[in-house]
């Protein structure tokens, strides 16, 4: 199974840091964010990794190269202008093969055990959810008996970790579009499974949270 890291975003909330440095290359614990993710994926058996790029994407490619330094095999899906999550994944499908693939947001920090996602999902998608952080108290989706829905009153936050089948994107026109509407449509057919992870997870979406992650790593 291949993995994809979403690394094309502009990182508006992290400006001015991201004016000249792409968000995946911002440092925490002395290493770029994207390297923490790649290291965790490789340790879990995901060595074939696709990275999508847009904003300052050439810098990401120069830094990561072919991935051999991190014991990975990295391919790139170049977007020019960021296509959002759905459009970015669809554009990368030709290099993700025909089976299920793992997608991880490039701006999260977690100790989630990626290895247990290998071989999933039986449905169109499998999402990892986490308890709602203070900055996203309303959550995203509900979870009941391993099935994710948009109708449960108790909601959890989507962790930016999911396994998808290519069929989820079948018949869609290429271009810029979000992932959430596709998932909600699949949820209406009970075609999205999920799990709640209560271990370490952070959305590195602001300078303050980047500093908090840096302190966590340096305090180990």
Beta carbons of 178 and 85 less than 8 angstroms apart: yes
SS3 99: coil
Give how far Cα 57 sits from Cα of 10, 13, 53, 151, Å. Answer: 10, 18, 5, 38
Residue 58, classified by CB atoms within 10 Å of its CB into exposed (0-12), middle (13-18) or buried (19+), is exposed
Nearest alpha-carbon partner for 32 in 56, 3, 1: 56
Distance CA 93, CA 59 (A): 23
pLDDT band per the 50, 70, 90 thresholds, residue 11? low
Beta carbons of 100 and 164 less than 8 angstroms apart: yes
Q: Please, what are the domains in the chain?
A: 3-218 (3.90.550.10)
34-71 per-position pLDDT tens digit: 999 999 999 999 999 999 999 889 999 999 999 999 99
Beta carbons of 120 and 163 less than 8 angstroms apart: yes
pLDDT band per the 50, 70, 90 thresholds, residue 8? very high
- pLDDT for 153 equals 84
Mean pLDDT of 88-108: 95
167-207 per-position pLDDT tens digit: 999 889 989 999 999 999 999 999 999 999 999 999 998 99
102-127 per-position pLDDT tens digit: 999 999 999 999 999 998 888 999 99
Q: Which helix (H) or strand (E) covers residue 90, if one does? A: helix 84-92
Nearest alpha-carbon partner for 23 in 39, 45, 5: 5
Q: Which helix (H) or strand (E) covers residue 23, if one does? A: none
- pLDDT for 220 equals 65
- pLDDT for 15 equals 79
Distance CA 220, CA 207 (A): 21
Distance CA 196, CA 175 (A): 31
131-145 per-position pLDDT tens digit: 999 999 999 999 999
Cα angle 97-98-101, degrees, rounded to a multiple of 5: 70
């Amino acid at each position: 199974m291949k993995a994809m890291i979403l690394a094309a975003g502009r990182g508006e909330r992290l400006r001015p840091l991201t004016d000249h440095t792409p968000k995946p290359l911002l440092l925490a614990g002395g290493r770029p964010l994207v390297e923490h993710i790649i290291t965790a994926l490789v340790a879990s058996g995901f060595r074939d990794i696709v990275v999508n790029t847009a904003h300052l994407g050439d810098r990401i490619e120069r830094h990561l190269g072919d991935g051999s330094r991190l014991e990975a095999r990295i391919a790139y899906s170049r977007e020019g202008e960021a296509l959002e999550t759905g459009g970015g994944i669809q554009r990368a499908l030709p290099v993700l093969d025909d089976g299920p693939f793992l997608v991880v947001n490039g701006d999260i920090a977690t100790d989630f055990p990626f290895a247990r996602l290998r071989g999933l999902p039986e449905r169109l998608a499998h999402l990892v959810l986490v308890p709602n952080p203070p900055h996203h108290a309303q959550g995203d989706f509900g979870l009941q008996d391993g099935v994710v829905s948009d109708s449960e009153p108790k909601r959890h936050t989507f962790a930016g970790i999911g396994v998808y089948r290519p069929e989820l994107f079948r018949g869609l026109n290429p271009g810029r579009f979000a992932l959430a509407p596709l998932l909600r449509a699949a949820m209406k057919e009970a075609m999205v499974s999920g799990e709640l992870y209560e271990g370490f997870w952070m959305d590195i979406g602001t300078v303050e949270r980047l500093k908090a992650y840096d302190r966590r790593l340096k305090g180990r």
